[in-house]
């Protein structure tokens, strides 16, 4: 048999096997048949047939990891923003084409049934999506890894827009069952809360501490298999659900502790009920701290159980076998928790316990924004975790002695470095605890890591010059190019072969075709087709008709002042005003597309969403602008919506105030799909500019140093208001009822935020420069060939930003892990 015939036969049989499996599940798992089944049933049956392959891979992987007793990384994250899994699992298993064919023969459209899957939205934004990209890369690179997090019953709220305003609705991603997850009651853990600590004197006068908890809660693990590209390694994401246990301590009840707990109405089941919807703000709520401790403690105990299976009570190999990466400070309470287990349970002495602990943890810092740096009232920790507060004090006491060695008699530096912030209310700084308790600390882009060293933790850097480092974020090209942009993926594979999803730097071979007119046409034809698809989606979702020939200008990310959606909006209003003043004003037709959720308690962010929608309503219905501008706010921005918007984007808005965006990953996804960035020199934009070249990106605005200088001399927003008549006109427009008929002043809060109290985000300072950059974009789009070349070079030069490279950086600099190839 010739090679191709053989391949055809393999492919035939594999397709037929899939077809047979789907039908079998339709009959035997779902109790329906081909005639009765709706899309939801087809989706479930297809999931079940894919899951057969997934579970086989999982079994082999676990066997392999067990027999090799490998060192593994444990990625602790309060958020995993996974999105949908069907398309990803099919692509990573190499079954997408066959499944598509099999379903076609059954009269079913794979794309349609994939729409039945609810997003797993167990995260807010970038931080949670990063965790999801990382576990994809870990499995793809055959690295032993477990993701640990919370099994929220309700993920991030669903956003509806009513009369221009955001309404939050509960997200119920498991309403009809989730076909990917496996319940593991055999691995339940119990965790303690509240109560008091008893000091006892053991043999030879040794002090022993015993925590008498007031409440015990059960943690039930759910495993979500994580399939690596190529389908060899299948790791797990283990998410903990809280459950009530029968335990009730009458001692503690009588002592008052449990009564307190009841008053606060912390019931076991509420712990994993909801994801806190705050992005870049600490919640400061008791339940949030309990969530953090609950999943950290369950995960640690799970790790220790597995370690003991191989090593018994010998702790000497623990830090050689186990590394734990803390995704931000959310799981930082794991540090005193491991210390507690080593001291009170394993009965190690302090120095031995601390040596193990500080060789186990590494910490990723995600932000410099003061409002996002977690601090907990010491009294709150004392009430919920009394033993942990003692341990934190002891860690701090010993650390202060170290500081005294380096800066003798310097109380200022001690105040600054202390885990405890003194004041009206004593607070525990989780960032300081994380740096002190970890062997490595990383920022998430070069500029951000430099600022962590220079501004956030300079003294820590002096004490431990090797500890602080950088690992620039990345994204998985499997989801963010191969799966979401199938047409472009095929074109790329035709040109350079099909192994680019594993070796993204190979995209650079496209550069040599960037000047080729035929290739430019092919590339831009696909972009156009993707825009036609998105235009249909926009019409279906909002009723707004948009022109696929217009520039699709996209800003998609959480709504936050530092991300400056309002800068984009002010510029749109300025363009609109220019068109009204001069009907001959020359510009390429442009569609401004937004997607963004605001934290429910963030008033100004919600006002900005309202303003975008009101301005959109006015402009989209104004015949005078002759369809030169359209503004679309797509509700309920989430991973599955991102996957539809990104392949259709011409322009990517990455316009945060310099120094405020740690990295960004949306910037990477858009550029990878051939969108040109309009961006500040902030976060990973700087590294994107380095890669694509200054001629293929539109950089504008103040630099980090210039923002700093402006702060030094005092930022005066009224200067810009009075000196730039366009700024003044646009801001004053917000105060009229032009965009909010009958409701003058409904948008005034935005104007106030930009002028009064100094605006830490410096919107007006960057307006002119932004507007100039946008004029260059407009001009550039007029030259189709030049634009195509720039778009191609963006895709071609994004190799650095694969999350595989990020993971390899972590392995080299921090984790020191070896591959474990699964047979």
Ligand X SMILES: *Cc1c(COP(=O)(O)O)cnc(C)c1O
- Kindly list the catalytic residues: 366, 557-558, 563, 665, 669
Coil, helix or strand for 191?
strand
Nearer to ligand X, 482 or 557 (CB): 557
| Listed ranges 214-222, 660-668, 728-736, 771-779: which one lies at the site for ligand X (CB under 6 A) | 660-668
445 is a site residue for ligand X (CB under 6 A): no
x/- contact string, 539-568, with ligand X (CB under 6 A)?
Answer: ------------------xx----------
Are 734 and 751 contacting, i.e. CB atoms less than 8 angstroms apart? yes
129 is a site residue for ligand X (CB under 6 A): yes
| Listed ranges 7-15, 194-202, 261-269, 662-670: which one lies at the site for ligand X (CB under 6 A) | 662-670
Instruction: Pick out residues in 344-363 that bind ligand X (CB under 6 A).
Output: none
214 is a site residue for ligand X (CB under 6 A): no
In DSSP terms, 286 is beta-bridged to none
477 is a site residue for ligand X (CB under 6 A): no
Nearer to ligand X, 268 or 655 (CB): 655
State the nearest-atom distance from the C-beta of 127 to ligand X, in Å: 8
Provide CB contacts within 8 A for 18, sequence distance 6+.
Answer: 49, 95, 98, 99, 102
Beta strand pairing call for 322-327 and 72-76: parallel
| Listed ranges 144-152, 507-515, 609-617, 635-643: which one lies at the site for ligand X (CB under 6 A) | 635-643
Q: 76 — phi, psi (to 5°)?
A: -90, 120
Nearer to ligand X, 77 or 665 (CB): 665
State the nearest-atom distance from the C-beta of 476 to ligand X, in Å: 11
Sheet with 676-679, strands from edge to edge, namely: 629-633, 590-595, 551-556, 651-654, 676-679, 698-699
State the nearest-atom distance from the C-beta of 81 to ligand X, in Å: 6
The count of chain residues that interact with ligand X, using the rule CB under 6 A, is 12
126 is a site residue for ligand X (CB under 6 A): yes
* C-alpha closest to that of 564 among 369, 760, 745: 760
| Listed ranges 363-371, 449-457, 487-495, 634-642: which one lies at the site for ligand X (CB under 6 A) | 634-642
Question: Per-residue DSSP letters for 615-680?
Answer: HHHHHHT-GGGTTSEEEEE-SS--HHHHHHHGGG-SEEEE-PPTTT-S--SHHHHHHHTTPEEEE-
Provide CB contacts within 8 A for 643, sequence distance 6+.
Answer: 83, 479, 480, 483, 484
Helix or strand (DSSP H, E) at 376: strand 375-377
x/- contact string, 93-112, with ligand X (CB under 6 A)?
Answer: --------------------
State the nearest-atom distance from the C-beta of 31 to ligand X, in Å: 35
CA distance 323 to 74: 6
Nearer to ligand X, 126 or 225 (CB): 126
* C-alpha closest to that of 342 among 374, 399, 304: 304
State the nearest-atom distance from the C-beta of 669 to ligand X, in Å: 6
Are 456 and 402 contacting, i.e. CB atoms less than 8 angstroms apart? no
Nearer to ligand X, 495 or 644 (CB): 644
Q: Any idea what the Cα angle at residue 396 is, between residues 394 and 402, rounded to 5°?
A: 115
State the nearest-atom distance from the C-beta of 668 to ligand X, in Å: 8
Nearer to ligand X, 638 or 805 (CB): 638
Secondary structure of 672-733 in HEC code, one letter for each residue: HCCCEEEECCCCCHHHHHHHHCHHHCEECCCCHHHHHHHHHHCCCHHHHHHHCHHHHHHHHH
CA distances, 694 to each of 102, 154, 551 (Å): 47, 43, 21
| Listed ranges 53-61, 221-229, 337-345, 638-646: which one lies at the site for ligand X (CB under 6 A) | 638-646
Nearer to ligand X, 436 or 649 (CB): 649
Instruction: Pick out residues in 421-440 that bind ligand X (CB under 6 A).
Output: none
x/- contact string, 664-703, with ligand X (CB under 6 A)?
Answer: xxx--x----------------------------------
Are 731 and 755 contacting, i.e. CB atoms less than 8 angstroms apart? yes
Nearer to ligand X, 151 or 563 (CB): 563
CA distances, 537 to each of 43, 533, 542, 543, 757 (Å): 21, 6, 8, 9, 41
List of E strands, 402-473: 420-421, 427-429, 440-443, 468-470
State the nearest-atom distance from the C-beta of 608 to ligand X, in Å: 15
Nearer to ligand X, 89 or 565 (CB): 565
478 is a site residue for ligand X (CB under 6 A): no
CA distances, 61 to each of 223, 225, 461, 599 (Å): 14, 11, 39, 39
State the nearest-atom distance from the C-beta of 169 to ligand X, in Å: 17
Neighbours of 25 (CB within 10 A): 23
In the list 135, 639, 686, 702, the residue contacting ligand X (rule: CB under 6 A) is: 639
Nearest-CB residue to ligand X? 666
Nearer to ligand X, 293 or 761 (CB): 761
CA distance 699 to 709: 19
Residue 435 structure tokens: 């740096």
> CA dihedral defined by 782, 783, 786, 792, rounded to 10 degrees?
50
Radius of gyration in angstroms for the set of CA atoms belonging to the chain, rounded to a whole number: 28
CA distance 556 to 593: 8
State the nearest-atom distance from the C-beta of 641 to ligand X, in Å: 7
Nearer to ligand X, 129 or 590 (CB): 129
**CB-hemisphere CA count at 13 Å for 588?**
22
Nearer to ligand X, 25 or 366 (CB): 366
| Listed ranges 15-23, 402-410, 435-443, 659-667: which one lies at the site for ligand X (CB under 6 A) | 659-667
Nearer to ligand X, 49 or 663 (CB): 663
Residue 100 structure tokens: 């598509």
In the list 642, 686, 707, 817, the residue contacting ligand X (rule: CB under 6 A) is: 642
Are 753 and 688 contacting, i.e. CB atoms less than 8 angstroms apart? no
383 is a site residue for ligand X (CB under 6 A): no
125 is a site residue for ligand X (CB under 6 A): yes
| Listed ranges 123-131, 337-345, 423-431, 585-593: which one lies at the site for ligand X (CB under 6 A) | 123-131
State the nearest-atom distance from the C-beta of 200 to ligand X, in Å: 50
The phi-psi region of residue 404 (left if phi > 0; otherwise alpha if psi is between -120 and 50; otherwise beta) is alpha
Question: Per-residue DSSP letters for 34-46?
Answer: TTT--HHHHHHHH
State the nearest-atom distance from the C-beta of 666 to ligand X, in Å: 2
Neighbours of 169 (CB within 10 A): 10
Are 588 and 630 contacting, i.e. CB atoms less than 8 angstroms apart? no
State the nearest-atom distance from the C-beta of 482 to ligand X, in Å: 16
Residue 577 structure tokens: 């005003």
Are 634 and 595 contacting, i.e. CB atoms less than 8 angstroms apart? yes
638 is a site residue for ligand X (CB under 6 A): yes
State the nearest-atom distance from the C-beta of 273 to ligand X, in Å: 22
For ligand X, the binding residues (CB under 6 A) are: 125-126, 129, 557-558, 638-639, 642, 664-666, 669
């Amino acid at each position: 048999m010739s090679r191709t015939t053989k391949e055809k036969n393999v492919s035939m049989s594999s397709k037929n096997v899939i077809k047979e499996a789907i039908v079998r599940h339709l009959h035997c798992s779902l109790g329906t048949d081909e005639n009765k089944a709706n899309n939801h049933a087809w989706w479930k049956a297809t999931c079940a047939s894919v899951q057969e392959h997934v579970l086989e891979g999982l079994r082999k992987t676990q066997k392999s990891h067990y027999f090799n007793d490998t060192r593994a990384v444990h990625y602790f994250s309060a958020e995993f923003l996974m999105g949908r899994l069907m398309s990803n699992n099919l692509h990573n298993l190499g079954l997408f084409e066959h499944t598509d064919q099999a379903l076609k023969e059954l009269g079913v459209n794979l794309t349609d049934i994939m729409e039945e899957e609810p997003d797993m939205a167990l995260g807010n934004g970038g931080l949670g999506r990063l965790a999801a990209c990382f576990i994809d890369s870990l499995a793809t690179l055959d690295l032993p890894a477990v993701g640990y997090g919370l099994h929220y019953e309700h993920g991030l709220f669903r956003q509806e827009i009513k009369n221009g305003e955001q309404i939050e609705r509960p997200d119920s991603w498991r309403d009809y069952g989730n076909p990917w997850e496996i319940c593991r009651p055999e691995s339940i853990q119990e965790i303690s809360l509240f109560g008091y600590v008893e000091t006892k004197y053991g043999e030879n006068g040794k002090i022993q501490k015993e925590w008498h908890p007031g409440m015990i809660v059960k943690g039930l693990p759910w495993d979500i298999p994580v399939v690596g590209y190529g389908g060899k390694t299948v790791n797990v994401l283990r998410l903990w659900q809280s459950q009530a246990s029968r335990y009730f301590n009458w001692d503690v009840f009588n002592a008052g502790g449990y009564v307190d707990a009841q008053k606060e109405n912390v019931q076991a089941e509420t712990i994993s009920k909801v994801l806190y919807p705050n992005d870049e703000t600490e919640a400061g709520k008791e339940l949030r701290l309990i969530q953090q401790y609950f999943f950290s403690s369950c995960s640690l105990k799970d790790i220790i159980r597995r370690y003991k299976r191989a090593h018994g009570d010998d702790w000497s190999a623990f830090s050689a076998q186990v590394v734990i990466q803390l995704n931000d400070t959310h799981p930082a309470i794991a540090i005193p928790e491991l210390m507690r287990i080593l001291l009170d349970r394993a009965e190690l002495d302090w120095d031995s316990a601390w040596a193990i602990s500080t060789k186990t943890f590494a910490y990723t810092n995600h932000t410099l924004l003061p409002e996002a740096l977690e601090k907990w009232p010491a009294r709150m920790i004392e009430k919920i975790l009394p033993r942990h507060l003692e341990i934190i004090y002891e860690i701090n006491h010993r650390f202060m002695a170290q500081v005294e060695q380096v800066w003798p008699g310097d109380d200022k530096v001690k105040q600054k470095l202390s885990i405890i912030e003194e004041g009206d209310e004593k607070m525990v700084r989780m960032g300081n605890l994380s740096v002190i308790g970890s062997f490595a600390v990383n920022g998430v882009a070069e500029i951000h890591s430099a600022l962590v060293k220079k501004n956030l933790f300079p003294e820590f850097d002096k004490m431990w010059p090797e500890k602080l480092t950088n690992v620039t974020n990345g994204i998985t090209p499997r989801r963010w190019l191969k799966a979401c942009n199938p047409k472009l993926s095929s074109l790329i594979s035709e040109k350079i072969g099909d192994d680019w999803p594993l070796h993204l730097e190979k995209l650079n071979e496209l550069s040599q075709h960037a000047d080729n007119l035929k290739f430019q046409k092919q590339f831009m034809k696909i972009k156009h087709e993707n825009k036609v698809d998105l235009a249909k989606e926009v019409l279906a979702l909002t009723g707004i008709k948009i022109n696929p020939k217009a520039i699709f200008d996209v800003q998609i990310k959480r709504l936050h002042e530092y991300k400056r959606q309002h800068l984009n909006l002010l510029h749109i209003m300025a363009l609109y005003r220019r068109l009204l003043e001069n009907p001959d004003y020359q510009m390429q037709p442009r569609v401004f597309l937004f997607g963004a959720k605001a934290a429910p308690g963030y008033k100004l962010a919600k006002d900005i969403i309202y303003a975008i929608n009101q301005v959109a309503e006015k402009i989209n219905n104004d015949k005078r602008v002759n369809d030169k501008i359209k503004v679309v706010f797509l509700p309920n921005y989430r991973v599955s919506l991102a996957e539809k918007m990104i392949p259709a984007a011409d322009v990517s808005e990455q316009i945060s105030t310099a120094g405020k965006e740690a990295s960004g990953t949306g910037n990477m996804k858009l550029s990878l799909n051939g969108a040109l960035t309009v961006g500040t020199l902030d976060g990973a934009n700087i590294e994107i500019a380095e890669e694509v070249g200054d001629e293929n990106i539109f950089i504008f605005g103040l630099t980090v140093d210039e923002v700093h200088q402006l702060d030094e001399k005092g930022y005066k927003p009224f200067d810009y208001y009075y000196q730039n008549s366009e700024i003044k006109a646009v801001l004053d427009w917000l105060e009229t009822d032009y965009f909010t008929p009958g409701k003058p002043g409904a948008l005034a809060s935005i104007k106030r935020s930009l002028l009064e109290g100094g605006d830490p985000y410096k919107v007006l300072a960057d307006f002119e420069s932004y507007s100039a950059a946008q004029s260059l974009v407009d001009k550039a789009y007029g030259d189709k060939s030049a634009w195509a070349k720039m778009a191609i070079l963006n895709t071609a030069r994004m190799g650095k930003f694969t999350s595989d490279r990020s993971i390899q950086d972590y392995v080299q600099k921090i984790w020191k892990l070896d591959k474990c190839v699964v047979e």
